[in-house]
Chain A
Amino acid sequence: MAEQDRKKVQRKGTEAESEAVQPAAGETAAETTERIDELLDEIDEVLEENAEEFVKNYVQKGGQ
């Protein structure tokens, strides 16, 4: 793609961006951290107990 075309594409991209549907209003950095910490705590409760053995025994042959 020529340099000129590429710039055009990026400019179009910026236009589309302004029209795009955006997710709900953003959270603060502190809120994000808190949310992720809670998530990790929840995952701790359900994560496979022996990660190394779980990963080692997960072998999938014969797939498409």
Chain B
Amino acid sequence: MTVHKVCGTETEYGISVRNQRESNPAIASGLVVNSYAGTHARVQWSFEEESPGRDARGFGVGGVVVEDFDSALVNVVLSNGARLYVDHAHPEYSTPECFDPLEAALHDKAGELVMARAGAAAGTLLPAGQRMGLYKNNSDGKGNSYGTHENYLLARELPFADVIRYLTAFLVTRQIFTGSGKVGSENGRPNIPFQLTQRADFFEERVGLETTLKRPIINTRDEPHGDPSKYRRLHVIIGDANLSETQTFVKLGTASLFLAALEDGALPDPVALADPVAAVWQVSHDLDFRLPLSLEDGGSATSLELQWQYLEWLTKYAEQVAPDPVYDRVLALWASILADLETDPTRLADRLDWAAKLQILEGFRNRDGLEWDDSKLRALDLQYHDVDPERGLYYRLAGRGSMQRLFTDEEIELAVAEPPERTRAYFRGRCVSRFSESLVAANWDSLVFEVGEDTLKRVPMMEPLRGTKERVDTVLEEVADAAELVRALGGSHGRTGSEEGPAEGNGS
């Protein structure tokens, strides 16, 4: 692989204060974030380096409002290196940078647990009879969507035009195994009782910078959060929030492998859909996986056929480069999912959220004679995603042993507290745990310390694979406080110092 596929997710959670009239979602979201007891201290997020208006196609967009000033008050860094914050009207959790898709899937689950705890803590502050509801989904069923974004580290040399040419049909057709399922349709799409994904109805462009309206299949935000001469961060906005551990792992794993093969020039000519924007909702609405999608070359193929094709490409690629064994697990799970989609999709109820949800909905329809427009089915749809372990239907299924799991509860618990060890998230998380009183701000690629001198000390972290346990544990063990740490690292004044990052400090 040209660039190691560091990856992670960011999820906006749905929020609803039960039994409260006219609840304000921004205030409720702030209450959730501020109630989370897992923050050692209020280490603030710094927006200094962020530029979501920069476009990967090479031009900038002026006047993009980054954040409201007040949102800095509800924007914190956790001891696992993650970010917990309020994004407009939603509480959001960004995982730390993870070394591989399995670790990222684990930290995605840790985010659910953080939200569940934050919601429970916020609930104790509500008047009697009210309850905080948090939902890991992407639609309110009324035409409003909120995102689950994936991030992948890419080589800067990879032409963005290649990302567009290759990835579009992959992202459109992977919906058959990335969807979390939804009752009904929205945003003017054709009426349908049930569809595979939460998000498909909201995609209206092929390529673009937007994330809140006219959502594009390929998002061009060019904000690498690392050395911009070496890296891109691909910001994928077309996925669903998944409760299924298998599904998040396969979603991140297949995309990571696809991007690695693309960087290595190991893929045959790309497959181009004739109308990818229409294909997004058409694939999501096709529960038989037999709908022929028109291709640019005049032929046609189904979503399932194209995914078999991609599996073949990436199996061949893996044979050539022998990547980490974690990718063998990705390929095996992917193959098993495609095989079941081909022969008996109901068998996927233990691995895919849409199939698990559909099984519940069909069960209630059969038992209670419900029509598809019955409110009870929409309520079941929403409650599948409730992060409260007692109420959430996913957790009920998992508790009965009906979902295939990749992680133990203990592993998820550990990931709530501990950062990944093989990325710079390790350094961030450890600094939050040990030096929070001196750590005045943090973001993805720097930490800022107040160590009693005239100027604040900024430690840059421009390399996602430095700041690892292996590289920084020695120096962290040797220093007694943040001032010693900054001296040991040769910390810079302002932004004038080394951009190499903390790994240089311990001579490794």
Contact = CB atoms under 8 A, between A and B. Distances in A.
Interface in B139-178: 139-142, 144-147, 149
Contacts of A5: 299
How many A residues touch the partner, as a band?
A: 35 or more
A63 B145 contact: yes
Contacts, number: 161
Interface string B326-356: 0000001101101100110001001100000
B208 interface: no
A1 B15 CA distance: 44
Interface string A2-27: 11011001101100110111110010
A42 B253 CA distance: 34
Nearest to B219: A64
B375 A55 contact: yes
A51 interface: yes
B360 A43 contact: yes
A54 B391 CA distance: 14
A42 B380 CA distance: 13
Contacts of B342: 13, 17
Contact of A16 (B271, B308, B351, B404): B308
A30 interface: no
Interface string A40-56: 10110011100110110
A21 B332 contact: yes
Interface of A: 1-3, 5-6, 9-10, 12-13, 16-17, 19-23, 26, 35-40, 42-43, 46-48, 51-52, 54-55, 57-64
Contacts of A63: 12, 88-90, 138, 144-147, 212
A38 to B, nearest CB: 8
Interface of B: 12, 14-16, 18, 25-26, 87-90, 135, 138-142, 144-147, 149, 211-212, 237, 271, 295, 297, 299-301, 304-306, 308-309, 311-312, 315, 332-333, 335-336, 338-339, 342-343, 347, 350-351, 359-360, 363-364, 367, 375-376, 378-380, 382-383, 390-391, 393, 396-397, 400, 402, 404
B301 A64 contact: no
B53 to A, nearest CB: 14
A14 to B, nearest CB: 8
A42 B300 CA distance: 45
B332 A42 contact: no
A44 to B, nearest CB: 9
Contact of A20 (B144, B332, B376, B396): B332
A6 B382 contact: no
Contact of B305 (A2, A9, A36): A9
B140 A9 contact: no
Contacts of B404: 23
Contact of A62 (B90, B382, B383, B390): B90
Nearest to B144: A60
A19 B146 CA distance: 38
Given A13-B339, A43-B393, 6 more contacts: A1-B305, A9-B308, A12-B309, A39-B402, A40-B367, A60-B90
B367 A51 contact: no
A21 B367 contact: no
Sorted nearest first, the 6 A-B pairs with minimum C-beta distance are A63-B146, A51-B379, A17-B339, A62-B89, A64-B147, A20-B336
Given A1-B300, A9-B309, A42 B379 contact: no
B396 A57 contact: no
